[in-house]
Structure 1
């Protein structure tokens, strides 16, 4: 078995639940050491313990609130540490807002925008500096199929991630760095529960499993794809969204539980 010192390291934000936890599990299963980033230190430590026991890797814990400048700075510091390089960055941390733009508090909207766009940009910037120097690295930005739909500021933020990833993959692929935006549809995680959404509002056929979303996304990133849309059903939806009028594809508003 490869010694821990020779293993590559993946840093995953929002790593205690949902897609973030599944990214951490699958990357650990592949033999990568992991740096787990989230706010809840106890949950991080429990997750790290499980991964170390199950996959014989090293799991580092970094407690940080990525909606706050201090939390972002802490993760930037870790990504900038050339003595402990991070070869894979997964920008997964995210939040959802249940109500329409004008009904949401503007402070919540600003926090939402910072986490999805500004934080992902800062972490990518820090990671790229080290990756380009080493001429190797992978960045995965967890976007959403909502990026292709007119669905408020969530769609707008995810559209930024998709556009950025397309450009960055094109710009830096020749220097050994692959950048991919993964765009899942509705996925069974804690995400919708935390935002208070009534999950029954979406039909059962639209729901994906986190394991398959992550597995397909990681494979697409390895292949150098700039955009990964897991499952045939959502590939079709994204293609249709490009040609249908916005009023048709906007869909019903979210409903609270």
Structure 2
């Protein structure tokens, strides 16, 4: 039996940051498994184009929610969708995020606060909203897209992703026995628009460290389905994160980010 054939009819996945990159790949793979999708991001036109592609290719329903998830009103829109009892959401992917190129002390503190809110508070609020229905149905899946940076001393981005990893671990421990798997997916450097939007010079990162979004998502979905609290796609990054736990912080921090 194929994975798509095994998917219950009418299940719905909500993906934030779904207009590009890892979020769009989650939408494609989940739609390919037969799930209807709710796509959330700020860029309405890109969301609509992605939704139409998924409808045409996979024959699923694809809903668009345009929302800024660093804004109260935007979060409220998604919370309302997650808690609508008439339209249950079975899978939540908290993927929306941003990066800051400069060191912490050089960034505007308002941008740092927005960065923290998007990665931590928004993910927390959406997870809390999704859990209400999932726990009552004793069925659900939540994926928080973190990063291998969670295991490295790399400024406020690492700190925010470390929170996501710890939160996912504790949530999976608490809720997996009640039918809800929670997983922090921790990719390494991945070919998406993320680093380009930051204005980062990607040439400083060795080619062998770069991953494809398709593999990151495929392994993350499999680990979540198997009940793992933390997913680190590929053997190379599993080894690197294991080494980071025992090596001195100065050796694993890596080179500073550099603009183009």
What's the TM-score bracket when you normalise by the shorter of the two chains?
A: over 0.9
CA-CA distance at 1:7 after TM superposition: 1.6
Normalised TM-score (structure 1): 0.98
1:59 alignment partner in structure 2: 62
User: What residue is the counterpart of 2:241 in the other structure?
Assistant: 238
CA deviations over 1:69-101 (Å, ceiling 9, x no partner): 000000000000011000000000000000000
SS in structure 2 of the partner of residue 65 of structure 1: coil
State the distance in 2 between where 1:88 and 1:6 align: 14
Aligned residue in 1 for 2:229? 226
Tell me how large the CA RMSD over aligned residues is. 1.3
> Which residue number corresponds to residue 95 of structure 1?
98
Counterpart among 133, 136, 139 of residue 142 in structure 2:
139
CA distance in 1, matches of 2:258, 2:204: 7
Are 1:39 and 2:42 counterparts?
A: yes
- Aligned match of 1:205: 208
Cα distance in structure 1, aligned partners of 2:108 and 2:244: 29
Poorly superposed stretches of 4+, deviation over 3 Å: none
Check if 1:105 corresponds to 2:108: yes
Q: Which ranges in structure 2 are unaligned for 5 or more consecutive residues?
A: none
**Which residue of the partner structure matches residue 24 of structure 1?**
27
Name the residue aligned to 2:15. Answer: 12
Aligned residue pairs total 256
SS of match in other structure, 1:230: coil
Q: 2:126 aligns with which of 118, 123, 128?
A: 123
Correspondence for 1:250: 253
1:82 & 1:240 partners in 2: Cα distance? 45
1:48 equivalent in alignment to 2:51: yes
Could you give the per-residue CA deviations for residues 182-216 of structure 1, whole angstroms, max 9, x where no partner exists?
A: 00000000000000000101000000000000000
**Shift in Å at residue 6 of structure 1?**
3.4
Q: Aligned partners of 1:73 and 1:240: how far apart in 2?
A: 41
Which of 166, 174, 181 does residue 163 from structure 1 map onto? 166
Output the CA distance in 2 between the equivalents of 1:13 and 1:87.
14
Q: Give the match for residue 185 of structure 2.
A: 182
Partner Cα separation in structure 2 for residue 120 and residue 31 of structure 1: 25
Taking the aligned partners of 2:72 and 2:256, their CA distance within structure 1 comes to: 32
Deviations 1:26-60 (A, max 9, x none): 00000000000000111111110000000000000
2 CA distance for matches of 1:99 and 1:190?
18
Distance in 1 (CA, whole Å) between partners of 2:186 and 2:43 is: 26
